[in-house]
Amino acid sequence: MSRYRGPRLRIVRRLGELPGLTRKATKASGKRSYPPGQHGQARKKRSEYAVRLEEKQKLRFNYGLSERQMLRYVRKARRAAGSTGQVLLQLLEMRLDNTVFRMGMAPTIPAARQLVNHGHVTINGRVVNIPSYQCKPGEVVGVRDSDRSRKLVQENLQFPGLAHLPSHLEFDKNTLVGKVNSVVEREWVALQVNELLVVEYYSRQA
C-alpha cells in the first residue's frame, strides 16, 4: 500500500485532527463530527480490531507513511530497548521531514517532505534530500545557501503548522538554523494517539 495522496480533509473527518497532514483540521473537524461516507452518521460500535486499526491509521496518515514503512518502523522499535510504543513515536518524530515541520520551516509534513526532496534542507551544512533521515541529538538543521531556499522557508515561517516549538528542538528564525538537542519526549508529540494499540495491531506481523 503506497502513501496516501487523496483528499486530506476526508481523512481528518474519519480519524480526527492530524496536525502533520493539514492545517485545516480544526475547522473541518468542527463542521462534521461524523465520519465521511453514506453511513457515516449511523456508525455502529467498533470492534477492538477497528479501534486498533484507527490508531494505526492516525500514525500512517499524520506522518505520511506507506504500510510497508510503518511495519518497518514497528519492527525497528521492537528491537530497541524501552517501551516499543514510545520508541515508535520517537522514530517517527525524529524523521527529518517531521523535524523540519516541527521547527516551523513548513506548514505540514507533506510540505516539509517536499522541501527535503528538493534539496532545500541541510544537516550539519550538507544537503540531505532523504525525508526519512533520522535526526540525532547535536545535529544542526539549516536551509541551503540559496535565495530560493531561504525565500521558501521564510514564507513558510509566517504560517507555521504548530504554535509551539518542542523542547528537544531550537530554531533561529533570523539565521534559519535549528538544532536537535535531544530525542523528543512523549508529551511533546502533537498527535493524539494511543501508541500501545498500534503495537497491538502489529503484534502478529512484527
**How does the average pLDDT of the chain come out, rounded?**
87
Predicted TM-score (pTM) of the model is 0.85
- Per-residue pLDDT reduced to its tens digit, 98-122: 999 999 999 999 999 999 999 999 9
Q: Could you give the maximum distance between any two Cα atoms of the chain, in Å?
A: 54
Nearest 10 degrees: CA dihedral of 187, 191, 194, 200? -120
Pick from 136, 126, 141: nearest CA to 94: 136
Q: Where are the domains of the chain?
A: 8-91+190-201, 95-182
Q: 199 φ, ψ to 5°?
A: -65, -40
Contact 162, 190 (CB under 8 A): yes
Helices (H), 37-135: 48-63, 67-79, 84-93, 96-102, 109-117
- Per-residue pLDDT reduced to its tens digit, 52-72: 999 999 999 999 999 999 999
One-letter amino acid identity for 185? E
Task: Specify the CATH number for 95-182; select among 3.30.450.20, 3.10.20.600, 3.40.630.10, 3.10.290.10.
Answer: 3.10.290.10
CB atoms within 10 A of CB 20: 26
Identify the CATH class of 8-91+190-201: mainly alpha
- Per-residue pLDDT reduced to its tens digit, 165-183: 999 999 999 999 999 999 9
